[in-house]
Amino acid sequence: MPFSVAGTPTAVRTPAPVTAAPPLLAAVAALCTAPLATIAQRLRDAALPYVGSSALVIFTEECTGRPQKKAGDEAIISQVTITELDHIRASLPGSGTPQGGVWQGEAFVAGRDRTVLTLTSPSNALLVLIDAKPLPDPADHPAAERMLRYLWTLAAERIREKVADAPPSYLIESRAASAERVRVTAELVDSHSTTLETLLAALRSPALDDEAARKSATDVAAKALVGLRTLSDRTTEMVEEPVATAFQRLREDLRPLTHFSGIDVQFIEPPVNGRALPGEVAHAARAIVRGLVLAMVDQSGVRRIRMQWDCDGLNLLVNVRDDGAGELSAAAPSMVRLTQRVEALHGRMSVDVMSGWGSDVAVSLPLDPPARPLADVSGWKLGDRELDVLQLLAAGQRNRAIATKLHISENTVKFHLRNIYRKVGASSRTEAIAMAHSSGIG
């Protein structure tokens, strides 16, 4: 039996049992630590006590490679398209006003009209709950809408945070996915535009005397053409940012620092007509500058930071300079991480430190992925034109597109392809593409 110092028996104190966190706190914790791959599922789990739905979709341009995050009924989320989500966002009441509103109604999504509940965010992200149950009456559950807004705000900010701190592998994957989406969309536009333009030519022919039918069909086809072109432009916009817009977003990101730190942060604007930045370059550049500014602020005696962006057509050129004591170290862990981000995009970063005069950091980020080394396919004994055809074939081009690019007929393309198959030992188009890729072509 335990005893006190005086020898008097004392009671044994049993430790209080460790209780699990309340469900809401557990859901918030899971959401705040969610990786990008599971953030939609975490948000859906957290939101279910407040509003039920068959599926949940997040549409965000922060992630250029995968703008959709989905959870719920696979039969629904597998059919949701970017075009549907873009249309929902554009048609929301109050579009263009301060974000964060809740709207519930009918919308065309996943192939048909469905009841949806939508929320937007300051980062222009969109949350869509599909086949959503109505929000509870405020008299019965006054906190339901407020909690849904709160959870969505956490998820949207988590996405921004994860993209800003994305590892090099994510940036490389994002660039590849963005390029693939542009390529696929371009092929669709080329194919459907040709079909519709042919349809228009036929319907406008004076040989057709049913004027009313011709006009109706012409209007439908013209509208479809506009929709396709709009889709192409929209896809390009999603994977690219005008350099001036990307820089303005950087200013907004740093506004709290300039407001509260007392440090004079000066921004030198890039040329307004500079080349647009690929989405992953714009995101990485903002993250790199934010990291540099925070590293410089940690030095003693810094009163002014000057940053400048420029674009030479091939590279985004970033310069960040402070007036501190010159204590910035390229070997510091934070600077090493920034260097890795730069190198992930095949860029360069140099740090020039002068004791007593401050630090000057220059970053160059290429706007295009590096060219692949030339493949050695001399053993195939391809002619120059055959090699041109094979390169376009390996890049995913169809016969018509190859003919257009090389200014030859489709029959000539087919003739070259037959020779290519014979020379490389391929029995099909797919096998020829695979062999080209394995040899470094495409």
What's the one-letter identity of residue 382?
L
Which helix (H) or strand (E) segment holds residue 222: the answer is helix 211-239
3-state SS, residue 241: strand
Topology of domain 33-164, CATH: Beta-Lactamase (3.30.450)
CATH entry, 243-366, from 2.40.50.140, 3.30.1490.20, 3.40.50.1820, 3.30.565.10 = 3.30.565.10
How many other β-carbons are positioned within 10 Å of the β-carbon of residue 44?
Answer: 21
- The pLDDT, as a whole number, for residue 100 is 56
- Burial code (b: 16+ CB inside 10 Å, e: under 16) for 362-388 equals ebbbebeeeeeeebebeebebeeebbb
User: 91 CB contacts (<8 Å, ≥6 apart)?
Assistant: 107
Task: Report DSSP letters for 55-104, one per residue.
Answer: EEEEE-TT-SS--EEEEE-HHHHTT--HHHHHHHHHHSTTTTSSS--EEE
- The pTM assigned to this predicted structure is 0.47
For residues 364 and 348, the answer to whether their CB atoms sit within 8 Å is yes
Mean pLDDT for back-to-back runs of 10 residues, the chain (442 residues): 44 49 80 84 89 90 70 85 84 57 87 90 86 77 82 88 66 58 62 67 70 74 70 60 86 77 86 80 87 87 91 90 89 88 88 89 87 67 88 82 86 92 86 79 68
For residues 254 and 240, the answer to whether their CB atoms sit within 8 Å is no
Q: Which two tokens stand for residue 435?
A: 């062999």
The CA-to-CA distance between both ends of the chain, in Å, stands at: 80
Distance, in Å, from the CA atom of 105 to the CA atom of 113, rounded to the nearest integer, reads 10
The conformation of residue 3, written as its DSSP 8-state character, comes to B
Strand partners, 317: 310, 364
CATH number for the region 380-438 comes to 1.10.10.10
Report the half-sphere exposure of 44 (CA within 13 A, side-chain side): 20
